Amino acid sequence: MTEVPGGTAPLAAKLRVDIDPELLALALTHRSYAYEHGGIPHNERLEFLGDSVLGQAVTVMLFTSHPDLSEGQLAKRRASVVSTVALAEVARGIGLGAHLLLGRGEEQTGGRDKDSILADTMEAVFGATYLSAGSESATELVLRLTAPLLEDPERYGAAMDPKTSLQELAARIGAAPPTYSVSASGPDHERRFTATVTVGDVSMTGDGTSKKTAEMAGALSVWRALSERA
Length of the chain: 230
Look at residue 2 in the predicted model and tell me its pLDDT: 66
Positions in the chain whose pLDDT score sits under 70: 1-2, 6, 152-157
Half-sphere exposure of 135 (CA within 13 A, CB side): 4
Residue type, 156: Y
Range of the domain at 184: 162-228
Residue 140 corresponds to which amino acid?
A: E
- Give the model confidence (pLDDT) of 18-59 as tens digits: 999 999 999 999 999 999 999 999 999 999 999 999 999 999
Is the same domain home to 112 and 202? no
Judge contact between 166 and 224, C-beta under 8 A. no
DSSP conformation class of 29: B
Q: Which of 115, 123, 161, 215 is catalytic?
A: 123
- pLDDT given at position 6: 67
For residue 126, which of 216, 208, 27 has the smallest C-alpha distance? 27
Separation between Cα atoms, residue 155 and residue 161, nearest integer Å? 10
End position of a domain, from candidates 129, 155, 181: 155
Residue 118 host element (H or E): helix 115-133
Q: Do the beta carbons of residue 122 and residue 46 sit within 8 Å?
A: no
Annotated binding-site positions: 47, 120, 123
83 lies in some domain: yes
pTM of the model: 0.74
Catalytic, 123? Answer yes
152 is catalytic: no
Residues 109 and 179 in one domain: no
> Residues comprising the binding site for Mg(2+)?
47, 120, 123
For position 192, what pLDDT does the model report?
Answer: 86
